[in-house]
Amino acid sequence: MKIIIVGGGIGGIAAYHSLIKYLAPTTFVQLYEAYSPSACRNSVLGGAITLGPNGQRAIASITPAAITYIRDRGFQFSTMSVRNDSGNVLAELPFGSPERYGYPSVMVPRAVVYESLMLESNTRAHANASIHWNKRIERVWETEEAVHVEFEDGSVECCDLLIGADGTNSKVRNALFGEEYATQYEGMTGFCGMVPLEDLSLSAQDSLRRQTSASMTLGCDGHLGLSLSSPASSSNPSLSWFTSIELPAPPMADAEPHELKAVLLEQYKYWKSPVDSPESNLIAEVMSVSCSSTKKNSFLVLPRWYTPPLPHMTSLHGLTTSGCGDRDKTTGKGRIVLVGDAAHAMPPDAAQGVSLAVEDALTLALVLKHHISASKNETESISNAARSYEDIRLTRVNKIFAGAKARQNRKKRVTPIQQWIRAKMIWMASFIPEWFMNDEIFAYSVESQVASHFGIVVEELCAS
């Protein structure tokens, strides 16, 4: 069997390692990425992310060494401090207890997660697997016998299974759905960055080093998140900040940080934090330093794009024969499968984007392993695996998508009365048990879900 993965981001690399780990050594696995390795590690990857216990559990299943790498370089926390714009704490909400889930939540640069998976690429030898950089696809299409991939340089590759891990603006997804499920602008633009603590005032540095929680500030005009994104004990920790502002259209791609500084300060200049002093305002200081810095990833503008929830994540339900979005009425064989943002680009408010991408990758590898071992017919194995993949993943990702949209809407502009009601609801949420609040997302185990789907035990599913 030959498998091609389109996209070398976190989801694509996770799929690459999952397939190598769980499929036979005779399987050919080829990954094609449009950018260079250095570009993927830097500007393409953006700022910091929250990696929940479920995402860490999935990564540990693929490559245990990656978790050590991530946790050594990230800020571990198990509570989220929610505040109002006067700096008063509304609630300390559970956000991933290691005692309950085996892992805390981790705020970490996205590049670190990527690097942790790339370490495995450098150490895991596989004669039939390879990664090809600077190779951009033009179109893909499926026929009865294979999937065809045409690249911008005119070359064409064929494979038995194509995994689309090419992100929000996925060409693979477009081959299945055309413009019907093209990305849409949310009406909100994200602003974020990472600031070395040494660039802040001494009083701010001292206070932030003592923080044990991530924080989210909610006001009438929006929201602002602050958290360390590296261990407080490191020689020079970094502070991650993130917010979104309602804008009818995203800022121009070439907009300079100093041009947007006034917009951010106008929005947040009166907001307070518990670490403010009479002489300084932490939020205004972070904004000013971030917008003035020339350091990489100190200031990023990330318009919020999303795709409407997809009715399916594979080509089982429609066969694209042209690669141009013209769908035939016949049923496909499931030879094209979407993972990560290509399948479910959603608002970041669920803090589950990377975790879901890794869960997708691991799920796909495990269902392929099971169906290949259960059938001697390769085409039948691929179709059955595609069906199982959708059965296991669609309900979960669509439910998390709905939750992310709801959280996003609660962070938009509100009236003072709505803000008061929201504050009371957040306070009441602090009395909800952690199992009720977080188990559905954080306790999720890919192996357990896949094994349950097939009616077998995990040991049998994962056996060599």
Domains of the chain by range and CATH? Answer: 2-74+111-183+307-412+442-462 (3.50.50.60), 186-304 (3.30.9.30)
What gap in Å lies between CA 114 and CA 12, rounded to an integer? 10
The answer to whether 169 and 209 are in contact (CB under 8 A) is no
CA–CA separation, 362 and 55 (whole Å)? 11
433: left (phi over 0), alpha (psi -120 to 50) or beta: beta
Q: Tell me, what's the pLDDT at 420?
A: 95
Phi, psi of 440 (to 5 degrees): -60, -35
Under the banding of pLDDT at 50, 70 and 90, the label for residue 397 is very high
* Residues paired with 243 in a beta bridge: 191, 224
Residue 317: what pLDDT? 85
- 198 — pLDDT class (breaks 50, 70, 90): very high
Assess whether pLDDT exceeds 70 at residue 327.
Answer: no
Mean pLDDT of 60-79: 96
Report the pLDDT value the prediction gives residue 119, as an integer from 0 to 100: 87
Six-digit token pair at 437?
């609040």
Range in 223-227, 303-307, 329-333 with the lowest mean pLDDT: 329-333
| First-residue to last-residue Cα distance in the chain | 18
Mean pLDDT of the chain: 90
Nearest to 354 by CA among 370, 336, 341: 341
- pLDDT for 382 beyond 60: yes
Q: Give yes or no for a contact between 318 and 338, defined as CB atoms under 8 angstroms apart.
A: no
Task: Render pLDDT for 130-180 as a digit per residue (tens, 0 to 9).
Answer: 999 999 999 999 988 999 999 999 999 999 999 999 999 999 999 998 888
Give the model's confidence band at 321: pLDDT under 50 very low, under 70 low, under 90 confident, else very high.
low
- Pick from 166, 138, 141: nearest CA to 152: 138
Query: In the beta sheet, which residues pair with residue 59?
Result: none
Q: Would the pLDDT of 66 be above 70?
A: yes
pLDDT at 323: 53
User: How do residues 118-132 score in pLDDT, each as one tens digit?
Assistant: 987 655 667 899 999
Q: Closest by alpha carbon to 151, among 3, 315, 323?
A: 323
Which has the closest alpha carbon to 85: 292, 267, 249, 256? 267
Average pLDDT over residues 170-196: 89
Cα diameter, the chain = 73
